[in-house]
């Protein structure tokens, strides 16, 4: 695989260079399985991703990694810090790592993540791991992208899990309690099982909870086995069609919004905000209709 060609193609798609749509329309049928890694900040998502890469590489698999970092809402720049934790794989022939910024996207992913993912899926990888910014009630886009979604939490996440419960219950295919050597890990797992219990009725897949210590590579083999089991049952699930429909919806949404210029909005708001009784909804109505 020519990683330079892959990297340049991703850049063409990311920057919407003329002709990129034709490239997308001629992609081969995707074969790579997509694994989404998400969870609250500080849960150890990057370290867990690094451990998963190691497990797949040890099995002689080709692995692509997309790390999405948060962007500044003002200049859309980002500190792509995930690469620091994955420095072992920079030059490995079986691993390709690409860092992306959210560029203001609210869902924790890059605005062209579906297109970039399709390019990588057609590149011949066995697995593609997508690590997102974080997770919350509205930040569940990863569920529409990944074949298997792994939600990573830590024993201290009790309050966060309660706060984000609805979103987490919907998107998690596998729960990972990382840093499980910390105090109260077992009681946290027990409480999490109780929260998940209502979701087990009338479902083919019962969401497992895996305890890991990613820094020490503990629990990684069990996690890999769970991921593979879920990917196998996905072939016979309606979720596959739902995933494709969700991706199609997001692509259509992007196309419909293409003529909306955020900088033009900014200039118009600056010009109108000085007037008394500025109303955002009146402004939107007059701007577009």
Alpha carbon dihedral 71, 146, 218, 64, in 10-degree steps, equals: -70
Give the residue-averaged pLDDT of 199-220: 86
User: Is there a contact between 114 and 251 (Cβ–Cβ < 8 Å)?
Assistant: yes
For the stretch 15-48, what's the b/e string if a residue is b when 16 or more beta carbons lie within 10 angstroms of its beta carbon? eeeeebeebbeeeeebebbbbbbbbbeebbbbbb
The owner of tokens 């577009």 is: 288
- Which of 6-10, 100-104, 229-233, 255-259 has the lowest average pLDDT? 100-104
The pLDDT score that the predictor gives to residue 7 is 92
What does the pLDDT average to over 206-215? 93
DSSP-derived letter for residue 218 is B
Domain boundaries, the chain: 3-258, 262-289
Neighbouring residues of 124: CB distance < 8 A, sequence distance ≥ 6: 1, 31, 32, 62
Assess contact for 136 and 168: CB atoms under 8 A. no
* The CATH number of domain 3-258, selected from 3.40.50.720, 3.40.50.970, 3.40.50.300, 3.40.720.10: 3.40.50.300
Give the residue from 72, 96, 88 showing the smallest Cα distance to 8.
96
Put the strands of the sheet holding 95-101 in their side by side order: 95-101, 63-69, 127-131, 33-38, 148-153, 174-177, 209-211
Mean pLDDT of 93-120: 75
First-to-last CA distance in the chain?
Answer: 49
Q: What is the pLDDT of residues 234-257, one digit of tens each?
A: 765 566 677 778 778 878 887 888
Mean residue pLDDT across the chain: 81
Residue 240 has which token pair? 């596959």
Render pLDDT for 2-59 as a digit per residue (tens, 0 to 9). 899 999 999 999 888 999 889 988 888 777 899 999 888 788 898 999 999 999 999 9
């Amino acid at each position: 695989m020519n990683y330079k060609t892959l990297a340049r193609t991703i850049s063409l798609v990311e920057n919407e260079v003329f002709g990129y749509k034709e490239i997308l329309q001629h992609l081969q049928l995707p074969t790579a399985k997509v694994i989404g890694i998400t969870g609250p900040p500080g849960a150890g998502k990057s370290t867990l991703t690094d451990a998963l890469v190691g497990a797949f590489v040890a099995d002689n698999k080709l692995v692509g990694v997309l790390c999405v970092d948060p962007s500044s809402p003002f200049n859309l720049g980002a500190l792509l810090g995930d690469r620091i934790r994955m420095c072992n794989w920079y030059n490995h022939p079986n691993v390709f790592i690409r860092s992306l910024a959210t560029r203001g996207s609210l869902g924790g992913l890059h605005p062209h993540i579906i297109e970039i993912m399709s390019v990588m899926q057609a590149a011949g990888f066995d697995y593609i791991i997508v690590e997102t910014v974080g997770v919350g009630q509205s930040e569940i886009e990863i569920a529409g992208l990944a074949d298997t979604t792994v939600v990573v939490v830590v024993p201290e996440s009790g309050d966060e899990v309660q706060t984000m419960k609805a979103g987490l219950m919907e998107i998690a295919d596998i729960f990972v309690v990382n840093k499980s050597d910390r105090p109260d890990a077992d009681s946290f797992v027990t409480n999490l099982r109780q929260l998940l219990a209502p979701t087990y009725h009338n479902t083919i897949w019962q969401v497992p909870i895996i305890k890991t210590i990613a820094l020490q590579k503990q629990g990684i083999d069990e996690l890999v086995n769970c991921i593979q089991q879920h990917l196998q049952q996905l072939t016979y699930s309606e979720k596959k069609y739902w995933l494709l429909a969700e991706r199609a919806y997001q692509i259509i949404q992007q196309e419909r919004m293409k003529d909306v210029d955020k900088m033009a909005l900014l200039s118009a708001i600056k010009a109108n905000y000085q007037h008394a009784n500025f109303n955002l909804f009146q402004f939107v109505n007059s701007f577009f209709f």
